Amino acid sequence: MTDKTKYQTQTWAIRGGIDRSDQGEHSELMYLTSSYLFDNAEQAASRFSGEEDGNVYSRYTNPTVKAFEERLALMEGADACVATSSGMAAIMSTCIALLQAGDHIVCSRDVFGSTTVLLNKYLAKMGVETTYVGLTDIDGWKAACRDNTKLFFLESPSNPICEVADIAALSKLSKSIGAYLVVDNCFATPILQKPLLLGADIVIHSATKYIDGQGRCLGGAVLGRQEDMDEVVGFLRSAGPCMSPFNAWVFLKGLETLSVRMRAHCENAENLAVWLQDHPAVEHVFYAGLSNHRGHSLASEQMSAYGGVLSFRVKGGRKEAWKVIDSTELLSHTANLGDAKTTIVHPATTTHGRITDEERAAAGITENLIRIAVGLEHMDDIKADLSIGLDQL
């Protein structure tokens, strides 16, 4: 087995999981094939029975997908990784593989919108109930636990107001009741945060975001202990939400530049957060890198930097927030994130538009809140673009 501690994360991102063919190619190969040939009938029989390792069909295994899985596992410090067709497929596969009717989930309140729909509509239909709690409210997590609680689910830092979960503390609690702690590490990536080393059992990724980094492909991943990942693989092989080899190849190349991109995303976000904080039309900036953010010291302990997403409240309400968004000429008005292009969105009427007013209030998503996923452009240009609207307020 590979010694995961032999190299730094940044090196694994570039060197991990390479399995060269006999052609001596330097770059990773893309194996665009749905099935594989057998040498003879005996080999076919032993591949199908599982006696012999080897490729049978790309819903089961594919060398390019495997290379991506190995690379990301080395980066997260995981025993094993299972690549999926999207981030949502990763969450669905984890829940279906590890839970059964009658089980209970405790989930942080401000998770990705589709995660809430998946839990509330589809897992509920299959007899799995979910209770939502505040991400930072440890007593709330404790109070929500039941005899049948099998899984904790959270995102940290949260979207859009960058709340920070105490992953080690929640790991202690989940272990005490025999539940899995599942952390969606999409916003932080293994470059900034390694939940498994902080005590989480399972890490989820939407590779669609920072791992791709340029908004091309959908993909996801589940990482954790071998025995748990065997369950997830079992579901994937039967149900089919597996990653395409083309997307796996794009993500392999994305991982190679992830550490330099994350460093630049974080630097730009910190720079923009400080500038916004000083703007007279801005009421408050939410970014865990700011010393006045309530998650700042915890984030400093469990992350190496604070991420590329921030949000801020303008003075006023919806009208003023929309004015700033509609006045931009350069920023991309879209809900996506983790892209080289900076994006801007109004959470209350888009990403968080379908939850109730009370839920929105509890999540701090006011009408004057704007979220920015800071990209890699020159920040002077981004500031000038935001100034068009801000200076009119």
Stretch that binds ligand PLP, among 10-18, 44-52, 181-189, 299-307 (CB under 6 A): 181-189
Residues 6+ apart with CB under 8 A from 260: none
Nearer to ligand PLP, 29 or 218 (CB): 218
Check residue 206 for interaction with ligand PLP (CB under 6 A).
yes
Contacts (CB under 6 A) with ligand PLP, residues 49-88 = 86-88
**Least CB distance to ligand PLP at residue 314 (A):** 24
d(CA 45, CA 68): 28
Q: Is 270 in the site for ligand PLP (CB under 6 A)?
A: no
If binding is defined by CB under 6 A, does position 208 make contact with ligand PLP? yes
Q: Is the peptide bond before 347 cis (omega within 30 degrees of 0)?
A: no
Report whether 144 contacts 106 (CB < 8 A).
yes
Is 184 a residue that touches ligand PLP (CB under 6 A)? yes
Of residues 103 through 132, those in contact with ligand PLP by CB under 6 A are: 112
Query: Is 218 among the residues that bind ligand PLP (CB under 6 A)?
Result: yes
- Closest distance to ligand PLP from the beta carbon of 113 (Å): 9
Q: In the complex with ligand PLP, which residue's Cβ is closer, 92 or 390?
A: 92
Tell me: does residue 157 bind ligand PLP (CB under 6 A): no
Question: Which position among 71, 209, 261, 284 is part of the footprint of ligand PLP (CB under 6 A)?
Answer: 209
Looking at the Cβ atoms of 152 and 385, the one nearer to ligand PLP is: 152
Shortest approach of ligand PLP to residue 338 CB, angstroms? Answer: 8
Judged by phi (left if over 0) then psi (alpha if -120 to 50, else beta), residue 144 lies in alpha
3-state secondary structure the chain: CCCCCCCCHHHHHHHCCCCCCCCCCCCCCCCCCCECCCCCHHHHHHHHHCCCCCCCECCCCCHHHHHHHHHHHHHHCCCEEEEECCHHHHHHHHHHHHCCCCCEEEEECCCCHHHHHHHHHHHHHCCCEEEEECCCCHHHHHHHCCCCEEEEEEECCCCCCCCCCCHHHHHHHHHHCCCEEEEECCCCHHHHCCHHHHCCCEEEEECCCCCCCCCCCCCEEEEECHHHHHHHHHHHHHHCCECCHHHHHHHHHHHHCHHHHHHHHHHHHHHHHHHHHCCCCEEEEECCCCCCCCCHHHHHHHCCCCCCEEEEEECCCHHHHHHHHHHCCCCEECCCCCCCCCEEECHHHCCCCCCCHHHHHHCCCCCCEEEEECCCCCHHHHHHHHHHHHCCC
CB of 108 to ligand PLP, least distance (A): 11
**Which stretch in 31-39, 182-190, 353-361, 381-389 sits in contact with ligand PLP by CB under 6 A?**
182-190
228 counts as binding ligand PLP under rule CB under 6 A: no
Contact flag: residue 203 with ligand PLP (CB under 6 A): no
Specify the residue, 88 or 95, whose C-beta has the smaller distance to ligand PLP: 88
**CA 292 to chain CA mean position, Å:** 25
Residue 160 binds ligand PLP, judged by CB under 6 A: no
Q: Output the smallest distance, CB 69 to ligand PLP, in A.
A: 16
Binding piece for ligand PLP, criterion CB under 6 A, among 180-188, 231-239, 299-307, 308-316: 180-188
Least distance from ligand PLP to the Cβ atom of residue 123, Å: 15
Asked if 158 is part of the footprint of ligand PLP (rule: CB under 6 A), the reply reads no
Q: Does 254 bind ligand PLP (CB under 6 A)?
A: no
**Burial class, 319, CB count within 10 angstroms (exposed 0-12 / middle 13-18 / buried 19+):** exposed
Q: Which is nearer to ligand PLP, 77 or 241 (CB)?
A: 241
Using Cβ positions, the residue closest to ligand PLP within the complex turns out to be: 87
204 touches 183 (CB < 8 A): yes
Nearer to ligand PLP, 145 or 164 (CB): 164
220 touching ligand PLP, by CB under 6 A: yes
Nearer to ligand PLP (CB atom), residue 102 or residue 353:
353
88 vs 298 by CB, closer to ligand PLP: 88
Distance CA 339, CA 213 (A): 5
Count, residues near ligand PLP per rule CB under 6 A: 13
| Least distance (Å) between residue 92 CB and ligand PLP | 9
For ligand PLP, the binding residues (CB under 6 A) are 86-88, 112, 155, 184, 186-187, 206, 208-209, 218, 220
